[in-house]
Every structure is written in C-alpha cells, then in structure tokens.
Amino acid sequence: MVNLLTMLLVFVFSFVIGYLLISKVPSLLHTPLMSMTNALSAITILGAVLIFSLETNLKENIIGFVALGMAAFNVVGGFVITDRMLKLFKKDNQNLTG
C-alpha cells in the first residue's frame, strides 16, 4: 500500500509542477520544450520497465501500464510532430499536404 500511495503522490506532484511550468512557456519555445518532454517520457518508460521488474500487485501493475502507455504515446506523437515541423524547413513544402 505504501508503494501505491508513493506512486500516486509522485504522479500528482509531477502533474501539477508540469502543468505550471508548461503553461508559462512562450509559444516560440514549444518545439524545444517538446524535445525535452520526449526525453522525459523516455525516462518515464525506463522507470516503468524497472518498476515492472519488481514484485507488485494488480493495482500497481495497472497504474504502471497506463503510465507506460501514456509516455509511449507522448514519445511517438512528439516524433511525428517534430518530423512535420522539420518538413517546413525543406525547400519543397508540398510534402506537408501528402
């Protein structure tokens, strides 16, 4: 029970801090910030894999699985958006429509 409570506390704390930090970022810095959050999501994935190596109960497994899925979604979405933005700097901008 202590592990679950600790994980929930860290989740809520990181959610609040992350929201406060991201909401104050100017729009010009969103792309570099996205690169940083992709790196943090990769660290989250590694942390979830490490937690899955420990003996946990069903609730902890479900929370870890959800965290793993959300972090993976963020990493993949970040790469897709970064790829789309990099296409804007190419000479031929017709690649964006297709």
* Residue of 8, 39, 10, 37 lying closest to 21 (CA atoms): 37
Give me the mean pLDDT over the 79-87 stretch: 79
Burial 73-82 (b: 16+ CB within 10 A, else e): ebbeebeeee
Q: Where are the domains of the chain?
A: 30-89
**Residue 91 confidence (pLDDT) above 60:** yes
Q: What is the pLDDT of residue 94?
A: 56
Q: What is the pLDDT of residue 31?
A: 67
The residues near 1 (Cβ < 8 Å, ≥ 6 apart) are: none
Per residue in 11-65, pLDDT tens?
A: 788 788 877 877 777 776 766 677 677 777 777 788 778 777 878 888 878 877 8
Alpha carbon distance 84, 70 (integer Å): 21
In which residue are the tokens 């790469």 written? 79
**Residue 4 confidence (pLDDT) above 80:** no
Q: What is the pLDDT of residue 95?
A: 55
Beta strand residue intervals within 2-83, DSSP E: none
- pLDDT: is 4 or 94 the higher one? 4
